[in-house]
Structure 1
């Protein structure tokens, strides 16, 4: 650790930042697991944050953020004014240059993902989409990356309607249990994979983007024709998308400390 960093303060901030992740209320044991810290360290950090007015306990014993955090957020004028397209612009173009494939930016809109920006590959055969196009969250990498990081209540509500949604290709998942497994795989990797499930000739990867409050607000996707997007390309582009999404999230005001606290919502 950096020599001038106060370790106790750093660990306390790790605990505080854990509350940017769903369900935004935790027990001491859950915070210990989420941060990867020693239980006694977490206990001392929690007591410090409670004493400072950042945390409070609910009747069931779960810890939640107080309005003090809202006041800090409201005072951050720079990040509050940053829109998703503005935050993503430069990072999106760099990903486009690095991959040579089409890059799409998606925003979460109700129970759908909407394409709000697109940089199409200059290759003769490429993945093409339309700005303004809405996608159900069960098909397409950009949509599934958002679904995987929704808060549990919204995610469960969507899964309850899954059987009513269109099956675009034989690979489209419309079974809730299969989708739960897909969500788990997405969260383990950090990015979603679309393997010819929305378009029979397209494969893509996508990573989620988070707002200053830690909620998923969109995703960034890289895709191309299936014959050019081999498994190794999906893995490479997937990790690149994760890095790009993290940079965009930081532009939006989302911050995290420590390697054990992953971007969730």
Structure 2
């Protein structure tokens, strides 16, 4: 390791002491409650003196608190304050705007951003390209979830009990000959959506219309929205269909990351003493 305490990673230069301090916060957040110094150091593979110094610094800044009775450590209120500030600033519609614009330019089809509200799809943003098929949808419109790409992308991540409640309340009405109207068949479709990471509406709500959608996850891992590309079946076919899948899933991942979603933990190679 360089003498200045820096280390090279795939993302660039990281400060080892900062990385270790953040690992302490991440570990304590995952365990919750109070933890003794020895357990923190052992779990993260640090010398007790190193862990103690990092905890003392975090304590000085309010990120860690220490019990005057047991000497154990817990997360501090400063993290709660910052979390509220960040959470209040992360409106999915605002965050998604540049990614939606980029997607429209790349695929040149209609792009929707939607959320699931009361068992229905609620469109919160829509952008069209110059060659886009004029789709009967608009911001603020509600459509059924079971036969739309964004709807299926969101239904796939509901708990089974909640999915059953949605189906019981809304039913599975037919809109075209392609509409899925059987609960078991829809369940099979939603499992495939989770496996591949995207949903397809193949003329299920409107003839000649195809839609590719992917879920957007917030910092807690909840599927909070979905983004889609919609266009004529004739245009969204073969190579352009594959491009739509790649572009939509990438845009969804980028928006999720901007919202604080982290699908994988930080690598353990930062734990060396």
Compute the displacement of 1:70 (Å): 10
1:152 shift after superposition: 3.2
Distance 1:232 1:128, change over 3 A: farther
Q: CA deviation at 1:219?
A: 0.5
Contact 1:191 1:206 in 2 (8 A): yes
Change (3 A) 1:172 1:73: farther
1:172 matched to 2:179? The reply is yes
Q: CA RMSD in A?
A: 3.5
In structure 1, how many angstroms separate the alpha carbons of the residues matched to 2:77 and 2:255? 22
Q: CA contact under 8 A between 1:113 and 1:218: conserved in structure 2?
A: no
Native 8 Å contact 1:102 1:128 kept in 2: no
Counterpart of 1:245 (choices 249, 252, 258) is: 252
- Bigger Rg over Cα: 2
Q: Equivalent residue for 1:236?
A: 243
Asked if 1:116 is matched to 2:105, the reply is: no
Comparing 223-232 with 84-93, which one deviates more in the overlay? 223-232
The residue that corresponds to 2:160 in the other structure is 152
- How far apart, CA to CA, are the structure 1 residues paired with 2:137 and 2:257? 27
Q: Against the structure 1 CA distance between its residues 104 and 228, is the aligned structure 2 distance closer, same or farther, given a 3 Å change threshold?
A: same
Cα pair 2:227 2:252 within 8 Å, conserved? yes
Distance in 2 (alpha carbons) for counterparts of 1:69 and 1:250 = 25
Q: Look up the match of 1:189.
A: 196
Tell me, in whole angstroms, the C-alpha distance in 1 between the residues paired with 2:230 and 2:207.
13
Q: Which runs of 5+ in 1 are unaligned?
A: 20-43, 50-66, 260-265
Distance 1:95 1:73, change over 3 A: farther
| Correspondent of 1:222 among 216, 223, 229 | 229
Q: Distance in 2 between matches of 1:106 and 1:135?
A: 10
Instruction: Flag the structure with more relative contact order, 1 or 2, with Cα contacts below 8 A and sequence separation at least 6.
Output: 1
8 A contact 1:121–1:127 mirrored in 2 = no
In structure 2, C-alpha distance between the alignment counterparts of 1:124 and 1:240, rounded to whole Å? 16
- Aligned residue pairs: how many? 215
Equivalent-residue separation in structure 1 for 2:233 and 2:264 (angstroms): 37
Which runs of 5 or more residues in structure 2 are unaligned? Answer: 1-7, 32-38, 45-73, 267-273
The 2-side partners of 1:216 and 1:74 are apart by: 24
CA contact (8 A) 1:209 1:246 kept: yes
Displacement of 1:71 after TM fit? 8.1
